[in-house]
Amino acid sequence: MRRFMIMKVAGLAGTLVAALAGMFVLGASSLVPEIARADGEHLVARAGDGQAGFAVNAFLPEQITVAVGTTVRWDFPWWEPHTVTFGVPQVGAPPATASGSDYDGTGFHSSNLLFGPGESYAVRFAATGTFDVYCIIHPGMVGSVTVVEEPGTADTQESLDRRGLEDYDRELALLEAQAKAWAARPIEREVLGDGTTRHTVYIAGETPKGDVQTFFPPFIEVALGDTVRWRSVTVTGHTVTFGPFPEGIPRAGNPAVDNRSVPGETYRGAGYWNSGMMGLDLPSGTNFEMQFGTTGSFYYYCIPHVDQGMTGAVRVTEDGAVPSTPIPAATPLPPATGGGLSEPAGGPAWLGVLAVVIGLMGAGGWWRWAVRQRGRVTGGR
């Protein structure tokens, strides 16, 4: 089911995309008069969140109790896309429901697929009961809203914030523990028949409610002629991509995602080299190798997750020795990241790498991509 996310990003899921496109088109037709939600409590929760290198795909908090007539607004503070959905999708193209509409516990009621940050979706709960809420593309992202008659037992904004933080911290800690364990592993190195070395970089770390979006290690030193092998052990799809950021949202038939480098060819510091969407049971498989035929520092990124900090670098020297010059540890501050990337200078080395990658992509190239991505989704297809 996590695959749906991958399929969406890779554009392989015609059915889902068509359904979502239908949601976008039909979404505007079911507006509820302002007066219908003029009264009643208004509360704010989050649909997912994250920080550089980590996406928490959970409703924050997962359980909410409100009095009948309350409007709950879910904010989308992170880059990972989600939906806020009640009920079972109908056959055909289910319409998205206008933000702020009444939900009485029956039928299909859903937001569009929203790419944060800066998006939100509100639902006014018009009837009592306990209603399951889920995200269409993240199978572990489930929760419930209990609607009660008496306001006395309902959540306050304060209790929502507190439990939302607890839920986030718990999920983030699980991801951070995995990342820490992977970061502590020595780099796997294997001497090949011709005397060069193959170094393995892992793509790893996921939970039912989140993803680690980091290469392990994010920065690797190799000698001229060596090979780097990226190996994914995750269900979630990622790419290893060198060169300019591909135009447009990745989709089926887009060579930006489908093309791989030619096996046996040696990378000489130029051109577009891409693994395709890697992962367990994904078409591009779990391994991707590149041999490095020139010295220098070469930066790469994951196409769907670069905006969540998934970048890396390979430094190639004559003898593979670690140069005295450290990798720059600048503080990248891309626009509207919700503070997730604003770690202080001296933080993880890949933050510096990210800054360089952003530089390589040109003035805000990745940002334009993100905006375009959002435009394509909300603008209909």
Which spans of this chain sit near Cu ion (rule: CB under 5 A)? 238, 302, 305, 310
Contact 340, 326 (CB under 8 A): no
Q: Which residue has the tokens 């209603």?
A: 131
Q: Which is nearer to Cu ion, 205 or 332 (CB)?
A: 205
Q: Which is nearer to Cu ion, 109 or 305 (CB)?
A: 305
For residues 299 and 179, give the distance between their C-alpha atoms in angstroms, rounded to a whole number. 21
**311 contacts: CB under 8 Å, gap ≥ 6:** 215, 218, 299, 300, 301, 302, 350, 353, 354, 357
Contact 116, 79 (CB under 8 A): yes
End-to-end CA distance of the chain: 23
Other beta carbons less than 10 A from residue 163's beta carbon: 17
Contact 185, 216 (CB under 8 A): yes
Q: Which is nearer to Cu ion, 238 or 374 (CB)?
A: 238
Q: Which is nearer to Cu ion, 41 or 211 (CB)?
A: 211
Q: Which is nearer to Cu ion, 94 or 312 (CB)?
A: 312
Q: Which is nearer to Cu ion, 199 or 238 (CB)?
A: 238
- Shortest distance in whole angstroms from residue 213 CB to Cu ion: 5
Contact 365, 356 (CB under 8 A): no
CA 22 to chain centre: 23
- Shortest distance in whole angstroms from residue 152 CB to Cu ion: 45
Q: Which is nearer to Cu ion, 230 or 292 (CB)?
A: 230
Amino acid at 184: A
The sign of the dihedral angle between the CA atoms of 264, 195, 295, 201 is: positive
- Shortest distance in whole angstroms from residue 74 CB to Cu ion: 24
Contact 316, 324 (CB under 8 A): no
- Shortest distance in whole angstroms from residue 79 CB to Cu ion: 11
For residues 114 and 140, give the distance between their C-alpha atoms in angstroms, rounded to a whole number. 17
DSSP, collapsed to helix, strand or coil, labels residue 125 as: strand
Other beta carbons less than 10 A from residue 162's beta carbon: 13
- Shortest distance in whole angstroms from residue 302 CB to Cu ion: 3
For residues 203 and 226, give the distance between their C-alpha atoms in angstroms, rounded to a whole number. 19
Q: Which is nearer to Cu ion, 56 or 302 (CB)?
A: 302
